[in-house]
Amino acid sequence: MELTLKKTTAKKLYPEAPKWFQNVLTETFGEDCFKKREFTDIKTFADACEEVGITEEEFNYKFAALGLDLDTINYEKLKIVVKAINQGWTLDWDNTNQQKWWPYFKLSSGFGFSDSGCTYGHTNTSVGSRLCFESEAKSNYAAKQFIDLYEQFLTIKK
């Protein structure tokens, strides 16, 4: 009997696996597969999917038949991008000492990234409370790198 393991599954198993199994996974998939990426290495939606342990094809399959609007699909994509860029950091609305960063955009004269904001004790849902980042650098990077997704989420195209 032979066991077949997908790369995405191996990446999910690796952090909690015993050392001997981590060695097997490394021998099978290579060291690069399990190296921690910098958030700036996440350049595409496919990269973000890989970082959170799914494939873009799996994402598309999950949402293809639901008949959702483009802005809803892009909101789901942005949740994956945020999760990938935050690399394990999660926001805690009960922690008023935790900074929560979000990008904001200019919509009046065309769509463009404007700046990032931060709060400790309250939320601003201008881009959705799930779309917060751990740092201003991560917020700025996501806004610039994934500006097309933000535009498709925040604007209505005819």
* 44-98 pLDDT tens trace: 999 999 888 889 999 999 988 898 888 899 999 999 999 999 998 988 888 989 9
Strand partners, 100: 119
Coil, helix or strand for 128?
coil
The mean per-residue pLDDT over the stretch 1-11 comes to 83
Residue 130 has pLDDT above 80, yes or no: no
Strand partners, 106: 112
Q: What is the pLDDT of residue 127?
A: 45
pLDDT band at 121 (very low <50, low <70, confident <90, very high): low
Signed CA dihedral, 132, 135, 138, 144: sign only: positive
Q: What is the pLDDT of residue 57?
A: 94
Q: What is the pLDDT of residue 76?
A: 94
Determine how many CB atoms are found less than 10 A away from the CB of residue 142: 28
Q: Is this structure's pTM higher than 0.85?
A: no
Amino acid at 21: F
* 13-50 pLDDT tens trace: 888 889 999 999 999 999 888 887 899 999 999 999 98
Residue 126 has pLDDT above 60, yes or no: no
